[in-house]
Structure 1
Amino acid sequence: MLIKMIPEVGHFALIIALLLAVVQAIVPLAGAATRRPLWMAYGRPMAMGQFLFVSIAYACLTASYMLDDFSVANVANNSNSLLPWYYKFSAVWGNHEGSVLLWSLMLAGWACAVAVFSRDLPRDMVARVLGILGMVCMGFLLFILVTSNPFERLLPNMPQDGADLNPLLQDFGLVVHPPMLYMGYVGFSVVFAFAIAALLGGRLDAAWTRWARPWTNLAWAFLTVGIALGSWWAYYELGWGGWWFWDPVENASLLPWLSGTALIHSLAVTEKRGSFKSWTVLLAITTFSLSLMGTFLVRSGVLTSVHAFANDPARGFFILVLLAITVALSLLLFALRAPRVSQNVGFSWLSRDALLLINNILLVIMTVTVLLGTIYPLILDSLGLGKISVGPPYFNSLFVPLTVLLCVFMGLGPSSRWKRMSVSALARKLWMSGVAALAIGILAPLVYGGSWNLWVSLGIVSALWIVLPMLRDMFDKTRNASSFLSGLRKLSLAYWGMVLGHLGVAVTIIGVTVVSNYNIERNVRMTPGETVEVAGYQFTMTELGSRRGPNFLADTSTLQVQRGEDGRSFTMRPEKRLYIATGMPMTQVALRPGLFRDLYVAMGEDLGDGSWAMRVQYKPFVRWLWLGALLMAAGGIMAIADKRYRRLAGRRETQPGQTQTPSREATA
């Protein structure tokens, strides 16, 4: 009897969580406005309680999946008794209702984390931050209960078995990709809450940026890993070897990442120099608004995509209203408060301040470029002006030159000084790096590909221009130490985080450049005994067969692969699967990964005469795409671990205008 009541327990837990969110949204803010400590203190227990009850609701939905409770519509539509348990676990968030519940769980988790780890911050600031987070939580819990109830029953017409999970989502990538992506999306709500709290309290000094910066870095790191995992999943799961589609839903995750990258740099300037105050607040509002817009695009039904969830206009309208309210009220508050901010911090056109400002402007232009390419077709369609498709030619023609220009200023930044620097001093530090980057970039395509390629040279020069000046800056910082290693040990974790982050960008650029220009692909007809050569590798089909999986039937092929006549051979086994419950075919590619190249084989269609269509690809440096993303994320996390955040966390800011300036090295 208790097992049958699990969905009702989950539904009731969501209602209690909503009531707690309402209290969290109202009482602490009222307490901060009226200076009542008891009311302000409500924020922490409400945030913790809300997280507890949303966790209970999520556990109940998970239990319904694991117990094959097909009386729950969400389970019946997205699971099956034959589905392996680990895919049942991930199927919880492989649909609209479950994914919004996961989103709300993570949102409540971030709010709970703020409540736990901000005990030494000013009481009124914490109350405002938790109150803003309570409002956001309240909006999403209302969204779940009003339009997206994951516990809706199908009684008394309960199906005997479920419709099964979309075969595209029956993959390890779904287990790890959405949680990471949502952690990044939702994490930006914290810096948004800090920014709005600073506006409400009239405290737009460096203090709020110092408190918000670790949360921003952590959210950005999660989003970076989430995007990389999504790219990796698409690469091997969809069967054609692409790693980025410029799909509107993919763009929806790229938009907050670009503005979040600008926000990280702007926070650093505001914390160090006290400048860019209003700009930093505006970026915080923009980044979270873009996260909400991504939610709208994925769940409104306005897009057709393998990544999209919902197809219900009512749900899209609810999120659109939530987005409109969030943006309108935030910008209204910004318009009222920002003009009062005094900012008398000057800097010359050649300084780290100016270069970071240019960095921010370029990132915002890139964000606007992607945003326009994503929503312009939707606007035209909604106005009845026809349907158009904006694809890779548009994005590549604008995004690539902007990326190259951004790399130029990324190389200049670490070697420059705050406030002012002479042209001659900067030239002395960078001329050798520039010459080396140009020489290697021009020669590398000749050595690797046998002929010169403009785009490969441009990519390598851009990547080296990021890395070599950092090495020079590292040398300058350690040359007076007793030894090179002791000098490296004295560098702060924040500095190492910057190094890793920029190195990750360079590694990703090399991966994108090389695989885009030197990828080799052959679409061939193969029968057992036939050999195909690609990039010096001989692919020989030795066997065709079949096998039965837990919930699918598969045609299989075995290929023996050898490089040259004397090379070591290995086996690759691609499959063509047919999922029993849905009748949907899927390609299961065979991969031979490596640091400098991937071999990629996908089965196409049965050609009816004992032969199969096969796609064989050689993909050089493709792994560097995801390696670079992991380096970027590691850099963001390393910066959080810097000791100054632990040291400053225990200091109460006494006056709104007072700031504590960390060392130059710490915020480099």
Structure 2
Amino acid sequence: MIPEIGHYALTLALCVAVVQAIVPMVGAQRGDLALMNLCRPASVALFLTIAVAFAALTHSYIVSDFSVANVYLNSHTDKPLLYKISGVWGNHEGSLLLWILILAVFSVAVSVFGRNLPPALRARALAVQAMIVVGFLLFILFTSNPFERIDPAPLNGRGLNPLLQDPGLAFHPPMLYLGYVGFSMAFSFAIAALIEGRVDAAWARWVRPWTLLAWIFLTLGIALGSWWAYYELGWGGWWYWDPVENASFIPWLAGTALLHSAIVVEKRDTLKSWTILLAIVTFSLSLLGTFLVRSGVITSVHAFATDPTRGVFILVLLAVTVVGSFSLYAWRAPQMKGGGVFAPISREGTLLLNNVLLSTAAATVLLGTLYPLFADALHLGKVSVGPPFFNAVFVPLMVPMLIVMALGPLLAWKRGDALGAAKRLWLALVAAAGVFAATYVAAGGQATHVGAAFGMGVGAWLLIGTLVEWAERVHLFRASPGVSLRRAVGLPRAAYGMTLAHIGTALLVMGVVGNTAWKTESIQVMSPGETLAMAGHIYRFEGADRVDGPNYDAIRGHFTLLDGDGDRITELAPEKRRYTQPPQATTEAAIHTSGLHDYYAVIGDAATDHGAGAYVTRFYYEPFVPLLWYGALLMGVGGVVSLTDRRHRIGAPARRRAEAAARAASTRASSGPSGGSGVTAPGRAS
């Protein structure tokens, strides 16, 4: 009965979404406030109906209702409760339902927290959001019904992929979806602004918090997935340019560009058309990532579906979204006024360069990801595009961006003093040179390590440059401690958020460079009592035994990690697990961290030809890899701190809202009910 309630709720949600997509849009066109305000109760009703459907599917998983095909294919009675719940989104149908739920969450959040929004903009944005929901509800109801029944019901299920039975993967997909779907809100605001014909500083201030929220979730979601790959897959890697990894990274790059571009629109009322384009492109790339994961065109542990029919449906949805939005952009964007002008050497100029480099990087990664698919479709042969290509083209784009990231915040708006800003960064330059020299010498002074030493120097440049910019803001060492303290307390939270995010980026860069350059690994067969020296430490194999888990059995290895003098540091206990349902082997690495470096042990299969108790073992020395996690977490924290800035929560100031309302009234009076001529006079916020 409960699955039928869930199915009915989805059908009812489709009806509500259609109403929300049409009626408020008509009301905004006619200037009918009553019809426009319908978007708010409609968004609440839409959220409630989809939440009921999601709760019904979750209940079916918790009670192991194997009469539901989705539960039978992805769950088992022996699974721990956490993985029964995470199994809801560990498959195509359930993850799609989660996607739709998050769409509805953002819709209702705008209706609740967007009280400052002009009624017409809010109505149009929520109507566009509902159109997206309609597309996905049609997809799930006609091709991916999560409540499909099996009769007779099996006695037990087939289980969830053991690789997904992990706390990291339990939370990784929801975080990613909150990022993916969050950009739909920026897209909806962009389309609403194009229809309305007005993009100004007030619009940018309204759209920034939703973009920032999506960026935070996508940043943390990607980091969580990378961390899972690092400790769960047992190969000591944290990123391999897998197509599905790229599917989340590409919209992150575009979303980062969008976030910075919106700042320019808000502060200087320029780059408006470019910002609208980025909002459209970012969400389109999110939809493209959905197509790649669910169409069967790529094979990955992350991929949810291999049914081409479903892929065609998403491809049609993607095509409608892209063609429709770009057609509207091509029609409306040329009529928008450009806004303020600025010199190339200015804060706007550095943010524009940031945008160009990020957009080029996104396009490059997209090309490398799709090229093998195009080559295969055109019968040009099987082509593999791997890390060498991505590293060769991505790194040169990021180096100038990282250099400018330290310089840009020290430049003034409109026209900056590059020489003056460079003089203030003398400490950052000294630190970068010092780190470069120290790293090069510590690496043995080999020519092969020049690039790595340079990368560490660039990270130090950004780190110290960011701290210098903060010190300049508070007049540190240039005023009395009391004055500096008052200025530090008075800084906007958005400024602190930027500082934390840039410091996080610097740490992440140093972690990537250091780990890539100096990672060490060793694979061998070991018998109990044997030792291996690596990276100034000693691994001693003590033996292995069999252990039983809730739904698996495992071989657990026992290793002692010693320092160079033979003193014990810790015990490591990696496992080789074999799940019963579905039958599959997984590797559970044991990792000891010093806070700056990781020592990583993996046990493999028994090596009976080397004697009793011998096993294949693998050890990794992972220098600087913790900086990756510190950096990603700090970037997310910086985003959260910035999001708590009062300016992101109250929208545009009252004076700007009054001016916007006056302009809207003037536009309606001059153009009649259709408002068609409003686009020719978008206006500027003072």
Same fold (TM over 0.5): yes
Deviates more, 1:418-427 or 1:568-577: 418-427
Q: Which residue of 2 aligns with 1:634?
A: 637
**2:44 is the counterpart of 1:48:** yes
Deviations 1:87-133 (CA, angstroms, capped at 9, x unpaired)? 10101100000000011111111101011001121111110010000
Structure 2 CA distance, aligned partners of 1:135 and 1:647? 27
Structure 2 residue identity aligned to 1:202 = G
Q: What pairs with 1:280-319 in structure 2 (closer than 5 Å)? A: 280-319=275-314
Q: Which residue of 2 aligns with 1:586?
A: 586
Q: Which residue of 2 aligns with 1:246?
A: 241
Q: What pairs with 1:14-93 in structure 2 (closer than 5 Å)? A: 14-93=10-89
Q: Which residue of 2 aligns with 1:217?
A: 212
Pairing partner for 2:622 from 619, 622, 646? 619
Q: Which residue of 2 aligns with 1:174?
A: 169
Deviations 1:465-521 (CA, angstroms, capped at 9, x unpaired)? 212222222222222463433221121111111111111110000000111111111
Deviates more, 1:126-135 or 1:650-659: 650-659
Q: Which residue of 1 aligns with 2:544?
A: 544
**2:457 is the counterpart of 1:454:** no
Contact kept in structure 1, 2:544 and 2:556, CA below 8 Å? yes
Contact kept in structure 2, 1:210 and 1:271, CA below 8 Å? yes
Pairing partner for 2:258 from 263, 280, 286? 263
Please state whether the residue corresponding to 1:654 is helix, strand or coil: helix
Structure 2's unaligned 5+ residue stretches are 664-681
How far did 1:401 drift? Answer: 1.2
Structure 1 CA distance, aligned partners of 2:495 and 2:188? 27
Please state whether the residue corresponding to 1:546 is helix, strand or coil: strand
Structure 1 residue identity aligned to 2:502 = H
Q: Which residue of 2 aligns with 1:520?
A: 520
Q: Which residue of 2 aligns with 1:501?
A: 501
Deviations 1:193-230 (CA, angstroms, capped at 9, x unpaired)? 11111111111111111100011011000000000000
**2:101 is the counterpart of 1:98:** no
Q: Which residue of 2 aligns with 1:491?
A: 491
Q: Which residue of 2 aligns with 1:666?
A: none
How far did 1:603 drift? Answer: 1.3
Structure 1 residue identity aligned to 2:607 = L
Q: Which residue of 2 aligns with 1:357?
A: 352
Q: Which residue of 2 aligns with 1:121?
A: 117
Contact kept in structure 2, 1:299 and 1:308, CA below 8 Å? yes
How far did 1:557 drift? Answer: 1.3
How far did 1:555 drift? Answer: 1.2
Pairing partner for 1:413 from 408, 416, 427? 408
Contact kept in structure 2, 1:414 and 1:469, CA below 8 Å? no
Structure 1 CA distance, aligned partners of 2:48 and 2:446? 61
Structure 2 CA distance, aligned partners of 1:202 and 1:513? 46
Contact kept in structure 2, 1:495 and 1:639, CA below 8 Å? yes
Contact kept in structure 1, 2:407 and 2:422, CA below 8 Å? no
How far did 1:344 drift? Answer: 4.3
Deviations 1:106-164 (CA, angstroms, capped at 9, x unpaired)? 111110101100112111111001000000011111111010000111112x2211111
Q: CA RMSD in A?
A: 1.5
Deviates more, 1:652-661 or 1:275-284: 652-661
Pairing partner for 1:645 from 634, 645, 648? 648
Q: Which residue of 2 aligns with 1:342?
A: 337
Q: Which residue of 1 aligns with 2:600?
A: 600
Please state whether the residue corresponding to 2:583 is helix, strand or coil: coil
Please state whether the residue corresponding to 1:155 is helix, strand or coil: coil
Contact kept in structure 1, 2:72 and 2:157, CA below 8 Å? yes
Q: Which residue of 1 aligns with 2:190?
A: 195
Contact kept in structure 2, 1:228 and 1:629, CA below 8 Å? yes
Structure 2 CA distance, aligned partners of 1:612 and 1:602? 10
Please state whether the residue corresponding to 1:146 is helix, strand or coil: helix
Q: What pairs with 1:231-242 in structure 2 (closer than 5 Å)? A: 231-242=226-237
Structure 2 residue identity aligned to 1:654 = A
Structure 2 residue identity aligned to 1:224 = T
How far did 1:447 drift? Answer: 3.7
Deviations 1:414-455 (CA, angstroms, capped at 9, x unpaired)? 111111123432332234422331232222342466767212
Please state whether the residue corresponding to 2:341 is helix, strand or coil: coil
How far did 1:532 drift? Answer: 1.3
Please state whether the residue corresponding to 1:503 is helix, strand or coil: helix
How far did 1:456 drift? Answer: 2.2
Structure 2 CA distance, aligned partners of 1:264 and 1:222? 14
Cα distance, 1:503–1:77 mapped onto 2, change above 3 Å: same
Structure 2 CA distance, aligned partners of 1:423 and 1:233? 42
Structure 1 CA distance, aligned partners of 2:72 and 2:366? 36
Cα distance, 1:376–1:288 mapped onto 2, change above 3 Å: same
How far did 1:660 drift? Answer: 5.4
Structure 1 CA distance, aligned partners of 2:452 and 2:136? 46
Deviations 1:603-654 (CA, angstroms, capped at 9, x unpaired)? 1221113211111111111111121111111111211111223344573342
Deviations 1:585-614 (CA, angstroms, capped at 9, x unpaired)? 111111113311111111122111321111
Please state whether the residue corresponding to 2:545 is helix, strand or coil: strand
**2:184 is the counterpart of 1:184:** no
Deviations 1:236-270 (CA, angstroms, capped at 9, x unpaired)? 11110110010000000000000000001100001
Q: Which residue of 2 aligns with 1:393?
A: 388
Structure 1 CA distance, aligned partners of 2:636 and 2:119? 31
Contact kept in structure 2, 1:207 and 1:271, CA below 8 Å? yes
Q: What pairs with 1:570-581 in structure 2 (closer than 5 Å)? A: 570-581=570-581
**2:650 is the counterpart of 1:654:** no
Deviates more, 1:113-122 or 1:476-485: 476-485
How far did 1:566 drift? Answer: 5.5
Cα distance, 1:546–1:8 mapped onto 2, change above 3 Å: same
Pairing partner for 1:321 from 300, 313, 316? 316
How far did 1:412 drift? Answer: 1.5
How far did 1:313 drift? Answer: 0.7
Cα distance, 1:462–1:569 mapped onto 2, change above 3 Å: closer
Q: Which residue of 1 aligns with 2:474?
A: 478
Q: Which residue of 1 aligns with 2:461?
A: 465
Structure 1 residue identity aligned to 2:587 = T
Q: Which residue of 2 aligns with 1:137?
A: 133
Q: Which residue of 2 aligns with 1:367?
A: 362
Deviations 1:566-601 (CA, angstroms, capped at 9, x unpaired)? 534321111111111222111111111331111111
Structure 1 CA distance, aligned partners of 2:461 and 2:570? 39
Contact kept in structure 2, 1:195 and 1:208, CA below 8 Å? no
Please state whether the residue corresponding to 1:133 is helix, strand or coil: helix
Cα distance, 1:601–1:380 mapped onto 2, change above 3 Å: same
Structure 2 CA distance, aligned partners of 1:26 and 1:61? 29
Structure 2 residue identity aligned to 1:346 = V
How far did 1:536 drift? Answer: 2.0
Structure 1 residue identity aligned to 2:67 = S
How far did 1:394 drift? Answer: 0.4
Contact kept in structure 1, 2:128 and 2:192, CA below 8 Å? yes
Deviates more, 1:99-108 or 1:639-648: 639-648
How many residue pairs get aligned? The number is 656
Contact kept in structure 1, 2:198 and 2:336, CA below 8 Å? no
Structure 2 CA distance, aligned partners of 1:650 and 1:344? 19
Structure 1 residue identity aligned to 2:435 = I
Deviations 1:515-553 (CA, angstroms, capped at 9, x unpaired)? 111111110111111111221222111122101111111
Please state whether the residue corresponding to 1:440 is helix, strand or coil: helix
Deviations 1:347-402 (CA, angstroms, capped at 9, x unpaired)? 11211111111111000110010000000111111122221110011000011111
Contact kept in structure 2, 1:207 and 1:659, CA below 8 Å? no
Deviates more, 1:579-588 or 1:366-375: 579-588
Structure 1 CA distance, aligned partners of 2:516 and 2:469? 31
